[in-house]
């Protein structure tokens, strides 16, 4: 078979045409990894360094036309996975560092009491290490909401959720801005990237800290445990929140016509069987994410559904939503349950597969031949018809260079 460009190879795997050989890439490249192992190198330098098939991520936002929205002047340079926020005079986001004691974020953080005036948020002192706490205040004419993020340099997480009382969602529903895709900017990126590899993005997330899927976005705002309890105790309230988030995402998707994305990400790990039951998935995840997939297809876009964690009980539900590809197929050795061969048999030709490689055990703590053997196992179990992209099952923060090279080199021997 004639040698393909990386873009041709990756696209062939996504549309079901056998590529020249097994595509090999990775998900997001963590800035922490680059700083620690490849100082001074960029994401694209990483792909060149190890001979992997490149991906570039771009999610350029712009205000809705004929609206009072504008690019948020308070944001500063967008951080990792952030897009340029959209603000208006009724939706402003302020960030400030702080230390102290933060409020509990468990189930009792949700209340049916009406919203009160926002009080100062407190947080644990990060101490002498590199951890940093930041409070974000979302200010509207009817009140303010706040959340606290902790940044440990390698990643960050929510230590105090934005939604603390049930009627906090009224402020979001009334005032939250809805970004649109800046199609011209995205297409310039596609032109510049050319045949180098895939142009990838995701459905818009909630400001500051969110994820593409409706349930996953809600879990970031409420806390996964609190959201699960609310789904049992007050399902109507959960539906109301999910509808608010879905409307915002649908408006973003409807602006994607003409955007030359190769694939867009939806979903999130809090919708996996590591966190919720298949019954909750069928009740609260699929009914809100499936219409987003339909809208994306109408806009000429393809969707990869991202479920890091246990996926096998959810596999049929994800397929029934009409996705074009599924990731990350986290193996048992990393706390997941993915059996690539069984998953391949169940999926058939309904969707492509991305992931399945155990980076915990085969990017650290083994010899190159063991890493090569893991590549061959993934190819044997999932690569028969070509609808498979070899990739680590999500992020990694450490990897020995010789094992990354073995990963990439062995993929080049897996031909069709």
For the segment 198-238, what is each residue's pLDDT rounded down to a tens digit? Answer: 999 999 999 999 999 999 999 999 999 999 999 999 999 99
Give domain status of residue 287, yes or no.
yes
Q: Is the pLDDT of residue 298 over 50?
A: yes
Question: What SS3 state is found at 343?
Answer: helix
Query: What's residue 126's pLDDT?
Result: 34
- Is 22 part of a structural domain of the chain? yes
CA dihedral 75, 78, 84, 87 (to 10 degrees): -20
Do residues 30 and 396 touch, judged by C-beta distance below 8 A?
yes
Asked whether residue 371 is domain-assigned, the answer is: yes
d(CA 281, CA 283): 5
Assessment of whether the complete model's pTM goes beyond 0.75:
yes
- Sheet architecture: strand order including 92-97: 92-97, 132-140, 143-151, 156-160
pLDDT-derived band at 109 (thresholds 50, 70, 90) equals: very low
Mean pLDDT on 331-336: 94
Query: What is the structure's pLDDT at 107?
Result: 37
Structural domain that includes position 376: 6-61+178-413
Task: Band the pLDDT of 80: cuts 50, 70, 90.
Answer: confident
Does 117 have pLDDT greater than 80? Answer: no
Closest CA to 311 of 297, 292, 325, 301: 325
Per-residue confidence (pLDDT) for residue 79, from 0 to 100 = 81
On the CB side of 412, how many CA atoms lie within 13 Å of its CA? 14
Q: Which of 189, 218, 222 has the alpha carbon at shortest distance from 205?
A: 218
Give the count of domains, the chain.
1
For residue 328, is the peptide bond before it cis, meaning its omega torsion is within 30 degrees of 0? yes
Taken in order 144, 228, 214, 153, is the CA torsion positive or negative? positive
Q: Is residue 192 part of a domain?
A: yes
Confidence bin at 394 (pLDDT 50/70/90): confident
In a domain, 281, yes or no: yes
- pLDDT bracket for residue 82 (50, 70, 90): confident
Q: Output the domain CATH number for residue 29.
A: 3.20.20.210
% of the chain surpassing 70 pLDDT: 93
Q: Which two tokens stand for residue 241?
A: 């929140």
Structural domain includes residue 81: no
pLDDT tens profile 232-272: 999 999 999 999 999 999 999 999 999 999 999 999 999 99
In a domain, 68, yes or no: no
For residue 18, being part of any structural domain is answered with: yes
């Amino acid at each position: 078979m004639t040698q393909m460009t990386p873009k041709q190879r990756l696209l062939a795997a996504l549309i079901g045409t056998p590529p020249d050989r097994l595509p090999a890439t990775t998900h997001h490249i963590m800035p922490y990894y680059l700083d620690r192992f490849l100082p001074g190198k960029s994401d694209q330098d990483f792909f060149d360094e190890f001979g992997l098939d490149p991906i570039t991520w771009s999610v350029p936002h712009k205000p809705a036309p004929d609206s009072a929205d504008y690019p948020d002047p308070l944001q500063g340079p967008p951080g990792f996975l952030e897009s340029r926020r959209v603000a208006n005079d009724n939706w402003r986001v302020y960030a400030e560092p702080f230390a102290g004691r933060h409020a509990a974020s468990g189930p009792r953080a949700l209340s049916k009491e009406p919203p009160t005036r926002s009080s100062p948020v407190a947080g644990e002192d990060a101490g002498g290490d590199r951890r940093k706490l930041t409070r974000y205040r979302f200010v509207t004419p009817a009140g303010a909401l706040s959340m606290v993020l902790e940044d440990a340099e390698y990643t960050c997480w929510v230590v105090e959720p934005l939604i603390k009382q049930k009627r906090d969602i009224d402020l979001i529903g009334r005032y939250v801005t809805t970004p649109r895709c800046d199609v011209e900017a995205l297409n310039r990126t596609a032109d510049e990237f050319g045949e180098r590899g895939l142009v990838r993005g995701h459905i818009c997330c909630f400001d500051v800290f969110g994820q593409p899927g409706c349930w996953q976005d809600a879990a970031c705002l409420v806390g996964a445990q609190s959201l699960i309890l609310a789904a049992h105790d007050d399902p109507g309230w959960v539906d109301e929140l999910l509808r608010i988030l879905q409307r915002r995402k649908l408006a973003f998707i409807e602006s994607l016509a003409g955007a030359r994305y190769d694939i867009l990400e939806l979903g999130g790990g809090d919708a996996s069987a590591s966190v919720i039951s298949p019954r909750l998935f069928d009740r609260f995840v699929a009914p809100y994410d499936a219409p987003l997939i339909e809208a994306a297809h109408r806009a000429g876009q393809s969707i990869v559904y991202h479920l890091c964690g246990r996926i096998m009980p959810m596999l049929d539900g994800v397929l029934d939503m009409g996705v074009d590809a599924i990731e990350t197929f986290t193996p048992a050795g990393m706390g997941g349950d993915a059996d690539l061969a069984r998953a391949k048999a169940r999926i058939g030709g309904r969707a492509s597969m991305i992931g399945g490689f155990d980076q915990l055990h085969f990017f650290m703590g083994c010899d190159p031949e063991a890493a090569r053997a893991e590549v061959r196992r993934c190819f044997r179990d999932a690569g028969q018809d070509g609808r498979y992209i070899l990739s680590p099952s999500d992020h990694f923060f450490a990897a020995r260079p010789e094992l990354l090279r073995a990963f990439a080199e062995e993929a080049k021997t897996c031909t069709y």
